[in-house]
Amino acid sequence: KQEVTQIPAALSVPEGENLVLNCSFTDSAIYNLQWFRQDPGKGLTSLLLIQSSQREQTSGRLNASLDKSSGRSTLYIAASQPGDSATYLCAVGRPEKLVFGKGTKLTVNP
Amino acid sequence: NAGVTQTPKFQVLKTGQSMTLQCAQDMNHEYMSWYRQDPGMGLRLIHYSVGAGITDQGEVPNGYNVSRSTTEDFPLRLLSAAPSQTSVYFCASSWTLTGELFFGEGSRLTVL
C-alpha cells in the first residue's frame, strides 16, 4: 500500500528565504506526482505536476523534483513571500487512486 | 470559468438522514472523484469515475453511493448519515487519468 509522508508538518520562515518542502513515498511504481496548495477553508490548487518520466518541473518561483528510485520529491520555493503561507500537499500513486500526504503548513513571516 | 462546483458548501444533518452532495464540472473532464478530508488523516478517496456510466470504489467507500449519468455531474449520496461522516468533502476532476487534478471548494458536513 502506498504511503506518503511529508516532513516537516509545519514550517515558519522569514520573508525572502528560500525553502524546501519534502515528500517521500513507499512505492516507486507511480504514474505522476502532484504538488498542491491549500488555503484555510478552501479547496486544493494544483501547483506542479511531474510525470513519472520527468525529473523536475518549474513554475515561476516554484521548482519540484522527482526521484522515483529513492521515493522522494522536493518542492523548492524561492524568495518566499507572506502570500505563500498555506498548506502544501503532495500526491502520488496510480492515476485513478492518488494517495495524499498530510501536508506541510508553511508560514512566511513579514 | 466555473471549473468544479460543489453544493452545498455547508450542511448539518441528523444521524440517519440522507442527502446528496452535488459536484459539477464544465471542463469536459472524463475523470472525477470524491475525497474526504479529516484532521490528522489527510485526504482519502471515497469513489471515483473514469467516465459516464463507470464508477469504482476508493479507500473509504462504505456509507456512500455514487453514479455518473453525464460527463459533467458526479453526485455523492450519503445513505444514512453517521457522526463518523462529519468531514469536509472535496470533488475533483481531470482531463485524463494522469492529468492535472482540479478541486472544488469543498462541502463541510456535520452529522449530529
pLDDT for A38 equals: 96
B83 CB near a chain A CB, below 8 Å?
no
pLDDT for B1 equals: 65
Whether residue A82 has a cis bond before it, omega within 30° of 0: no
Per-residue DSSP letter, A100: E
Mean pLDDT rounded to a whole number for chain A:
94
Q: Does residue A13 register a pLDDT over 70? A: yes
Q: How many CB pairs under 8 A join A and B?
A: 58
Candidates A36, A44, A51; nearest CB to B98: A51
Residues of chain B in contact with residue A64, where contact means CB-CB under 8 angstroms, are none
pLDDT tens string B76-96: 999 999 999 999 999 999 988
pLDDT for A74 equals: 97
Are the Cβ atoms of A43 and B101 closer than 8 angstroms? no
Q: Enumerate residues 6+ apart whose C-beta is below 8 A from A60.
A: none
pLDDT for A105 equals: 97
Q: Which of A79, A73, A85 is nearest to A21 (CA)?
A: A73
pLDDT for A1 equals: 85
pLDDT for B109 equals: 97
Chain B nearest-CA residue for A44: B103
- For residues A3-25, give the mean pLDDT: 96
pLDDT for A28 equals: 86
pLDDT for B97 equals: 73
pLDDT tens string B27-43: 999 999 999 999 888 89
The span from the CA of A61 to the CA of A5, in Å, is 23
Chain B nearest-CA residue for A1: B59
pLDDT tens string A68-82: 999 999 999 999 999
Residues of chain A in contact with residue B43, where contact means CB-CB under 8 angstroms, are 44, 89, 91, 100
Q: Does residue A95 register a pLDDT over 70? A: no
